[in-house]
Structure 1
Amino acid sequence: MSISGDPNNPYAQPQPNPYGQVPAPQNPVPPQQNPYTQQAPPAQPPGVGYGYPAPGVPAAPTGAPGASGGSGRGASGWLWAVGGVVAASAIWASLLFATGGFSSEPSPDLAGYGYTGDLCAATSMTPFENADYETKKSTGSTSKDANPQHSGAQQKSLDTMWCNVSLQRENAGSSDYSSTWLYNTATLHKKTDPTPEFADGYRSYEKQDTSVGYKVESVAGLGDEAYLVTRNDEGSSSNSSYVILGVRDGWMTYQSTWSSYASSSSSTKPPTSSEVATMLKTSATETLKRLQNSGSR
């Protein structure tokens, strides 16, 4: 066993370099750290760490993931907040679906009009009575022979009402032959807005290729829009008239049609188209007021 100081002891003090002194390098390399040695993390400036950008890197937008403290709790909180909003939105959406809030169907604008099972009771006959017309008496005991006749139906998309009245001149002679009818209809559109097609429905009379022809004109003061259709009877040998009045008020449509004929030998003549138009407009004004005040019957 070698003892301390023994020249052969490899563990003795280091001996001088036999090659002499080695000059120090011009660019000394700093000592390398032991990769296996635990090193304390370098001090970070305020605001730099886990979840924070390094110096020179723009900070994340406020509220974005990772924009909170270094523990990661900010990102987790942000995710929980987003999840809460999504959950609340889902609940709100389900309520809207349940109540029809997301329904693509528009809400019907019935302008205050209500359904009635007897449109004849709501129809104003005063203008026709002032023109010496009266309702013909029923000729039979069945409902088919009744005069006036009325009916109606309430359905999912439409409420429909109609009234037909046969009229005659007061004090008409037994030999007089005439036929006069007043046809009234009212419709409550509950699913489809009739506005886009309403005017064209009446304007189409002018497009008909018939021998008599029709004239269509707008009428002011009735509903949202109204049209008067008059058959051109000029030059006709018969004493007849045919006039239609159509009215739209919101999603309610109303039509009153006058059709009359009298033989050439009759002692009475039907009113002119102009006189009929005045009667129809006067009757419609009062009838529509009554329908707005009517309820389901």
Structure 2
Amino acid sequence: MSNSGEQPNPYAQQPPQPPQGPAPQGPPPPPSQVPQQHQGAQSPQSPQAANPYGQPPQPNPYAQPPAGYGYPAPHGAPTMSGGAPVGAPGSYGGAPAGASGGGKGLPAWLWAVGGAVVASAVWAGVVFSTGGFSGEPSPDLRGYAYKADLCGSTSWAPFEDARYKMEDSSTSASAGENPTASGHQDSALDSMWCNADLVPEDAGSDDYSTNLVYTKAFLHKKTDPGPEFAAQYRSYEEQESSTDYKVTPVQGIGDEAYLVSRQESTDSKSTYVVLGVRDGWLTYETAWSSYSSGNSADRPSSEEVADMLRTSATETLKKLKS
């Protein structure tokens, strides 16, 4: 025992002692004997009291920081694919770079929707300004123009070379002007026709002969005739009648062309040949129909008529562009 008269501080820190058995139990000292804490000192019962063993305080591994912008989400909070929490930077729900914090910035999905709306509005404006929503495709007329007098644009040279001429109007089968032209213009379709009666130059007075050439042209302005053009001529082969027709594709005229020939017997006195041509949205057709009471050897064959029609069509289409 010291003779200095000083009382030992019962709360002074002591170096750790090896355990000597259970500490004696006794009643706590009266409050009057507990020394007052120095101002600013922490209560021994406070969770942040000084560690009596001299170890630095350890962080609580289970403490959760407040969730918010820039912090990971608490345990159990909803996250996006890859583990990023909803609302975290870099996730689909986070605010874009440059957006104000504190909940004032718009979510990224709202920015994406807004951008899509603006892009759609720009696209719709361009389409409207160019007529994209009009529902009317632009006609591919290839430079062809309407002619009120299709007969004046028809090439008759191949028939003249085969020694045919225009029949006099007073004796023609049409009993009127020969050749005869007509036409009609419309916002959807321009139509042109020409009919002519031809006679052999060396026909005798006792021979009865009629040779008709029908020509027509159409400028389609609203509907593309391409998908249905071939079917119009192929249908000749499917007709259920006593007359057989042969349909042959023709190369070198327009986008597509078909020649239709009626199969005739050797003693037949009639010939029927049709040539149909499509070039873009223009369709053109010329047909030969003839009957003669004279010698069949003097009449042109179906092959010869087909050559005349093909040559005439090629030259006529050139004139319809001029």
Query: Are 2:184 and 1:153 aligned?
Result: yes
Query: Are 2:270 and 1:240 aligned?
Result: yes
TM-score by length of 1: 0.72
1:132-187, CA deviations, whole angstroms, 9 ceiling, x for partnerless residues? 101112229xx971111111112122111111111111142332211110001111
The 8 Å contact of residues 238 and 262 in structure 1, kept in 2 or not, is answered as: no
Could you tell me how far 1:55 is from its partner in structure 2? Answer: 3.4
| CA 1:101–1:133: 2 relative to 1, 3 Å | same
SS of the residue 2:198 aligns to: strand
Query: Are 2:85 and 1:54 aligned?
Result: no
| CA 1:131–1:114: 2 relative to 1, 3 Å | same
Q: Higher relative contact order at CA 8 Å, sep ≥6: structure 1 or structure 2?
A: 1
Cα distance in 2 for partners of 1:267, 1:87 equals 77
SS of the residue 2:138 aligns to: coil
Query: Are 2:203 and 1:172 aligned?
Result: yes
SS of the residue 1:260 aligns to: strand
Cα distance in 2 for partners of 1:255, 1:29 equals 108
Could you tell me how far 1:16 is from its partner in structure 2? Answer: 4.2
Q: How does 1:101-116 map to 2 (within 5 A)?
A: 101-116=132-147
Cα distance in 2 for partners of 1:194, 1:168 equals 34
- Root-mean-square deviation over aligned CA pairs: 3.6
Could you tell me how far 1:64 is from its partner in structure 2? Answer: 6.4
1:224-256, CA deviations, whole angstroms, 9 ceiling, x for partnerless residues? 111111111124x34221000111111111111
SS of the residue 1:75 aligns to: coil
For residue 223 of structure 2, what is the amino acid of its counterpart? T
The 8 Å contact of residues 214 and 232 in structure 1, kept in 2 or not, is answered as: yes
Cα distance in 1 for partners of 2:93, 2:284 equals 61
Cα distance in 2 for partners of 1:144, 1:178 equals 15
Query: Are 2:269 and 1:252 aligned?
Result: no
Could you tell me how far 1:66 is from its partner in structure 2? Answer: 2.6
Could you tell me how far 1:190 is from its partner in structure 2? Answer: 1.5
The 8 Å contact of residues 231 and 243 in structure 1, kept in 2 or not, is answered as: yes
Cα distance in 1 for partners of 2:293, 2:114 equals 83
**Aligned match of 1:134 in 165, 178, 184?**
165
Aligned length: 254
TM-score by length of 2: 0.67
| CA 1:80–1:218: 2 relative to 1, 3 Å | closer
1:262 equivalent in structure 2: 292
**Aligned match of 1:122 in 149, 153, 162?**
153
| CA 1:69–1:49: 2 relative to 1, 3 Å | farther
Cα distance in 2 for partners of 1:119, 1:249 equals 17
Compare 280-289 and 64-73 and name the one that shifted more: 64-73
**Aligned match of 1:194 in 206, 225, 250?**
225
| CA 1:134–1:248: 2 relative to 1, 3 Å | same
Structure 2 residue ranges without an equivalent (≥5): 1-28, 36-43, 49-64, 74-83
Query: Are 2:314 and 1:285 aligned?
Result: yes
2:258 equivalent in structure 1: 227
Compare 152-161 and 74-83 and name the one that shifted more: 74-83
1:273 equivalent in structure 2: 302
2:26 equivalent in structure 1: none
**Aligned match of 1:182 in 198, 213, 222?**
213
Cα distance in 2 for partners of 1:230, 1:167 equals 19
SS of the residue 1:185 aligns to: strand
For residue 234 of structure 1, what is the amino acid of its counterpart? S
For residue 178 of structure 1, what is the amino acid of its counterpart? S
Cα distance in 1 for partners of 2:283, 2:68 equals 67
| CA 1:51–1:114: 2 relative to 1, 3 Å | farther
Could you tell me how far 1:63 is from its partner in structure 2? Answer: 9.3
Could you tell me how far 1:108 is from its partner in structure 2? Answer: 1.9
Query: Are 2:248 and 1:217 aligned?
Result: yes
Cα distance in 1 for partners of 2:310, 2:212 equals 16
Cα distance in 2 for partners of 1:60, 1:151 equals 76
Identity percentage of aligned residues:
54
